[in-house]
Amino acid sequence: MSEAPVPHAGEAHADGSAGRLNWLRAGVLGANDGIVSVAAIVVGVAGATSEIGPIVTAGVAGLVGGAISMALGEYVSVSSQADSQKSLIAKEARELREMPDEELAELTEIYRKRGLSQETAAAVARELTAHDALSAHLAAELNIDADDLASPWQAAGASALAFTVGALLPFLSIVLVPEPARVPVTFAVVLLALVLTGALSAWIGGAGIWRATLRVVVGGALALAATFAIGTLLGTSGVV
């Protein structure tokens, strides 16, 4: 007996694994944002001063502000998507009530265009309509599952949590390490974390790991170098 094919990470599946992968991808990207943005803030401040107080203040402000911003952005985005989907569901339900024959013909045509014969398409459409007309039309026409709409609050919480977890890495690194090694250790921790998030993100998306990871690491390194240089320049010039 031949073995069942192993699905790739980025493929969609009826068992919901694609949805879980999408959530995981969003979590990885949120953590990556937390790592880079907070690391850039604390490293920039560390370039301007060796005092721990301003570094902690800037790091906490960046972590809290970033987490709230990420949560708010995700909440607004998912809310808009959910509102749009609910409107489409209501419209489809109304059309099924008011013109069921036209909707059945539309569903039949959808399956005919997907390769079924006219007779088979009509039979499939009739059986699906008899079982659950609304779900059948939502899935075939709009690719919507009325029982699996995204929750704005869940999305916001997940986004804020992912950002916070990522942000804690550079924050704790620069706060807990003594001053002489503070910035180099933070650089190393951040770049290592970016290697992990870049590789995981590439695996989830089915992309080449090395190229995707290199992009993330180079981008993060440039951000850290730029903010550290600016902080150092402002610190030596007496601005801060």
Confidence of residue 237 (pLDDT cuts 50, 70, 90): low
Q: What confidence tens digit (pLDDT) does each residue in 163-191 have?
A: 999 999 999 999 999 888 999 999 999 99
Parse the chain into domains and list their residue ranges.
17-237
Q: What confidence tens digit (pLDDT) does each residue in 78-107 have?
A: 899 888 888 888 998 898 899 988 988 888
Looking at residues 112-134, what average pLDDT do you find?
89
- Residue that wins the pLDDT comparison between 162 and 201: 162
Looking at residues 114-128, what average pLDDT do you find?
89
The first and second tokens of residue 44, run together, are 């920039």
How far is the C-alpha of 166 from the C-alpha of 152, rounded, in Å? 21
Name the nearest CA neighbour of 66 among 171, 157, 160, 154.
160
In angstroms, how far is the first alpha carbon of the chain from the final one? 72
Burial class from Cβ neighbours inside 10 Å (0-12, 13-18, 19+) for residue 137 reads: buried
At position 144, the amino acid (one-letter code) is: I
The pLDDT of residue 240: 56
Question: Is the pLDDT score of 238 beyond 70?
Answer: no
Assign 3-class secondary structure to 36-95.
HHHHHHHHHHHHHCCCHHHHHHHHHHHHHHHHHHHHHHHHHHHHHHHHHHHHHHHHHHHH
Question: Is the pLDDT score of 13 beyond 50?
Answer: no
Question: Is the pLDDT score of 12 beyond 70?
Answer: no
Confidence of residue 11 (pLDDT cuts 50, 70, 90): very low
Question: What's the predicted TM-score (pTM) here?
Answer: 0.74
Contacts of 150 (CB under 8 A, 6+ apart): 78, 81, 82
Q: What percent of the chain has pLDDT over 70?
A: 89
Question: Is the pLDDT score of 239 beyond 70?
Answer: no
